Structure 1
């Protein structure tokens, strides 16, 4: 497939692009600066310029994957979705939108599935509406799907890298607000593999959770981060109001979010088989050392 990828230079997007290319697809990267060096073909386009997005989805593009970070402006992101999907209508070509498990909110004792209602925290407040906008295009001949990754680890990046940085600076492991918080986790390379399976095989109108471990205790991740940083000591609790003051309220609240999220649907229906190290092992002994 010839796949237009929005967000191909980011932490996740770069690995998705690599995986797609390695498995035989041709990646076309959307970029605001077409003259920038790239191992992939490029198309000009900007999420703030809907006409440029529509122009990029030419008839030779077999699928579109959007892994770009949302702009933070609901109207801009909605217009971008409309622009990217307009040329796909009536063609049954795939459009894959990347959301995230934070749209589910705190899950409590339950484990959230794809059918669970959304209850987004403020940092992703309007994203469920974007998801609905994407999925509605399935009624107009677009093979539209939504993929919600868990907290991503691997290749020394993502949110776990913050835990390592905090441990190194504080001389001890540190977490925000609550020692009992759990995060649903997925290795970035396993997640990239799921992107390939969803864009190839997932039916129109479907939602998928990219989660390999439903509920990893963040306390264990913090201890692993301390090991990677070469420090020791008891886990320090960072009071939420102090974390909000330094990180900003929306992001601090997200880090304090307790979730259990099920990712078995992708394994059962798409044959996804996560194979990379679990999060604690990766952080303590793998790519974060």
Structure 2
């Protein structure tokens, strides 16, 4: 397939591009500036704030579009961007895969929730469920539309766990926002990239998937592992949300304090996804016993 990728240079997007190439797909990157790439790298110029450029990028030879770019934070802009990307795909059966996230579920309680659970989005992703619906509704108009909700992404030194390592270095101890019993659903970036490729090739139209390999990772333990990774002794202390908010921004602090237990079983059962990268604590510490 020839696949147009938005967000190709990001943390998740770069892993997806590598996986797509390994699987034999031709990747075309959407970018504001082609000059940042080499002369042999296929690029289409486009910007989420310029709907006409997005529409023009989805030419007839593009077999699928993967939207992995960070949202602008403005619902009308993001909704119009999705509309412009979908328009050339309507009635063609070509694939459109959109990236959302598990924060749209809100607090879940102790029982793992699946894709049938109602959304209760926190502020930082408040309008995302409506964009999800916009994408999934395109399945009724001849688009193989798929939405992926990744968990908290880790691996290769990046993501929020990478930030936690930086906090540990800065403060001399691991830190976590919120209560001591907070849990996060998580996925290794390379396992997530494999899911995108499976969704591109195997998912049916109108499919919603949780990209979650580990349903409930204790965040206090993750902070302790981050301290070990930073050269500390494995200590972790709470960072009260009201103190974290002025540093991180209130919406992000709220998200980090969110406790969730989320199932990613549908992707395993329906697509044959087999996440196998190390557990988050093992990844951070390099200790297989973690």
TM-score range, shorter chain: over 0.9
Alpha-carbon shift at residue 170 of structure 1 (Å): 1.4
Q: State the match for 1:6 in structure 2.
A: 6
How many residue pairs match? The answer is: 286
Aligned pairs for 1:7-46 within 5 A: 7-38=7-38, 40-46=41-47
Aligned pairs for 1:204-215 within 5 A: 204-215=205-216
Alpha-carbon shift at residue 233 of structure 1 (Å): 5.6
Q: State the match for 1:76 in structure 2.
A: 77
- Please give the alpha-carbon distance, in whole angstroms, between the structure 2 residues aligned to 1:99 and 1:263: 14
- Please give the alpha-carbon distance, in whole angstroms, between the structure 2 residues aligned to 1:93 and 1:124: 27
Would the aligned equivalents of 1:184 and 1:212 in 2 still touch at CA under 8 Å? yes
Would the aligned equivalents of 1:104 and 1:120 in 2 still touch at CA under 8 Å? yes
RMSD of Structure 2 on Structure 1 (CA) = 1.0
Q: State the match for 1:114 in structure 2.
A: 115
Would the aligned equivalents of 2:34 and 2:43 in 1 still touch at CA under 8 Å? yes
Alpha-carbon shift at residue 43 of structure 1 (Å): 0.4
Q: State the match for 2:126 in structure 1.
A: 125
Alpha-carbon shift at residue 272 of structure 1 (Å): 0.4
- Please give the alpha-carbon distance, in whole angstroms, between the structure 2 residues aligned to 1:161 and 1:232: 17
CA deviation vs aligned residue, 1:44-101 (integer Å, no higher than 9, x gap):
1111010110100000000000000000000000000000000000000000000000
- Please give the alpha-carbon distance, in whole angstroms, between the structure 2 residues aligned to 1:143 and 1:152: 25
- Please give the alpha-carbon distance, in whole angstroms, between the structure 2 residues aligned to 1:97 and 1:234: 38
Q: State the match for 1:267 in structure 2.
A: 268
Gaps of 5+ in 2: none
Alpha-carbon shift at residue 177 of structure 1 (Å): 1.9
Q: Compared with structure 1, are the counterparts of its residues 2 and 233 closer, same or farther at alpha carbon in structure 2 (3 Å cutoff)?
A: closer
Alpha-carbon shift at residue 35 of structure 1 (Å): 2.4
Farther off after superposition, 33-42 or 136-145: 33-42
- Please give the alpha-carbon distance, in whole angstroms, between the structure 2 residues aligned to 1:77 and 1:43: 19
CA deviation vs aligned residue, 1:245-285 (integer Å, no higher than 9, x gap):
11110000000000000001101110000111111100111
CA deviation vs aligned residue, 1:179-222 (integer Å, no higher than 9, x gap):
11000010000000000000111000110000000000001111
Would the aligned equivalents of 1:173 and 1:232 in 2 still touch at CA under 8 Å? no
* TM-score in terms of structure 1 length: 0.97
Aligned pairs for 1:77-116 within 5 A: 77-116=78-117
- Please give the alpha-carbon distance, in whole angstroms, between the structure 1 residues aligned to 2:8 and 2:235: 39
Alpha-carbon shift at residue 36 of structure 1 (Å): 2.1
Q: State the match for 1:56 in structure 2.
A: 57
Q: State the match for 1:196 in structure 2.
A: 197
